[in-house]
Amino acid sequence: MIPVTPLIKPIHLHIPDGFLSLPIAVLFWILSILFILLAVRRTQREFGERQVPLMGVMAAFIFAAQMINFPVAGGTSGHLLGGVLAAVILGPWAGMLVMTSVVAVQALLFQDGGLLVMGANIFNMGILTALIGYGLHHGVAGKDRSIRLAVTGLAAWLSVIAGALATSLQVWLSGSALLQVIIPAMLGVHALIGIGEALITVAALSFILQVRPDLITPNPQSNHRRGWVAVGFLVSLVVLLLAPLASANPDGLERVAIDLGFYRQGQDPLYQIFPDYTLPGLGETPLSTIFAGVLGALFVAGITVLFTKVLRQPKKT
């Protein structure tokens, strides 16, 4: 029998519409759009007019590869999510574009994941995975084959954890879940799913290294290497620190979120970001909150742009 269901539901990280508050959804849309625009420009420079056919077919490949599963135990099966594999083989920017297309088609064609929350889904499954996967893999680029494979496996596992963690935090900040329930549940399940992801990613990479090593040789003239490695390690570190903190001490995290003004219990989540922020003339209306959310997002976006500027600088030297 041909397995059909995995095609429709490979992994439960796709947030449907209705689960995220508008400010959170808008915030992650803006973050994702920034990364996507950068990725479009970078891959255009790297691949030229080959970009469209290559990225398109690779996105279809990731989608099809998510169908390939293996039985684990008790009727469950292991799947590939593919974010790390795509970033390692094709590079971080191309990986982001490929995963963006996959998430977009899953949402638009199969309703797997919502439209309003697609920014968050792209961020969790395409951008975080590319940053972790490429960063960690590149950190050991010159090393022994077995070390590279091991680190890539670790990155694959971590990318699934990162996606689950980000999803939980977004849903929690939206007031749609309780932190001490969703974190252990999501992380517990995805710690297992991540093992399947790691095993398949390592096996696939090792196979490709054996058959077509020319496709994966790290770009020797890559000058931003240190930047990518730093970002990869930074994101991984945040995930590694935040995950145990959130599951062991949710009250602490809640305290931090309240102190930062991201979360205030007892209010409609729509009005929680920048609780004191109202725009003149708009008052306490949803419109004013959206503007506040957009302003907050622009602030984060500014930091991101600065960050990428710093990343880009070594190229000029």
**Which residues inside 199-238 make contact with other proteins, applying CB under 8 A?**
199-208, 211-212, 215
Is 116 or 311 the residue whose CB approaches other proteins more closely?
116
Give me the helix-helix angle, 22-47 and 92-110, nearest 10°: 130
Q: Which residue has the tokens 């399940």?
A: 189
Least CB distance from residue 111 to other proteins, whole Å? 5
Q: Which range, of 95-103, 127-135, 276-284, 302-310, touches other proteins by CB under 8 A?
A: 95-103
- Among residues 119, 89, 88, 94, the alpha carbon closest in space to that of 39 is found at 94
Is 17 or 279 the residue whose CB approaches other proteins more closely?
17
Interaction of residue 109 with other proteins, rule CB under 8 A: yes
Q: Please report, as residue ranges, which positions from 125 to 184 form the binding site for other proteins (by CB under 8 A).
A: 168, 171-172, 175-178, 180-182
CA dist list (Å): 68 to 64, 65, 249: 7, 5, 37
Q: Please report, as residue ranges, which positions from 23 to 52 form the binding site for other proteins (by CB under 8 A).
A: 25, 36-37, 40, 44, 48-52
Contact 128, 159 (CB under 8 A): yes
Residues contacting residue 308 through CB under 8 Å, at least 6 positions apart: 38
Q: Which range, of 101-109, 137-145, 224-232, 295-303, touches other proteins by CB under 8 A?
A: 101-109
Is 57 or 147 the residue whose CB approaches other proteins more closely?
57
Interaction of residue 291 with other proteins, rule CB under 8 A: no
Which sign does the torsion angle of CA 66, 217, 33, 42 carry?
negative
- Among residues 21, 16, 271, the alpha carbon closest in space to that of 170 is found at 21
Q: What's the CA gap between 278 and 288, in Å, rounded?
A: 6
- Among residues 87, 81, 105, 252, the alpha carbon closest in space to that of 167 is found at 81
**Is 124 strand, coil or helix?**
helix
| Near other proteins by CB under 8 A: residue from 30, 81, 87, 97 | 97
Least CB distance from residue 119 to other proteins, whole Å? 13
Q: Which range, of 132-140, 195-203, 225-233, 305-313, touches other proteins by CB under 8 A?
A: 195-203
Is 185 or 242 the residue whose CB approaches other proteins more closely?
185
Interaction of residue 22 with other proteins, rule CB under 8 A: yes
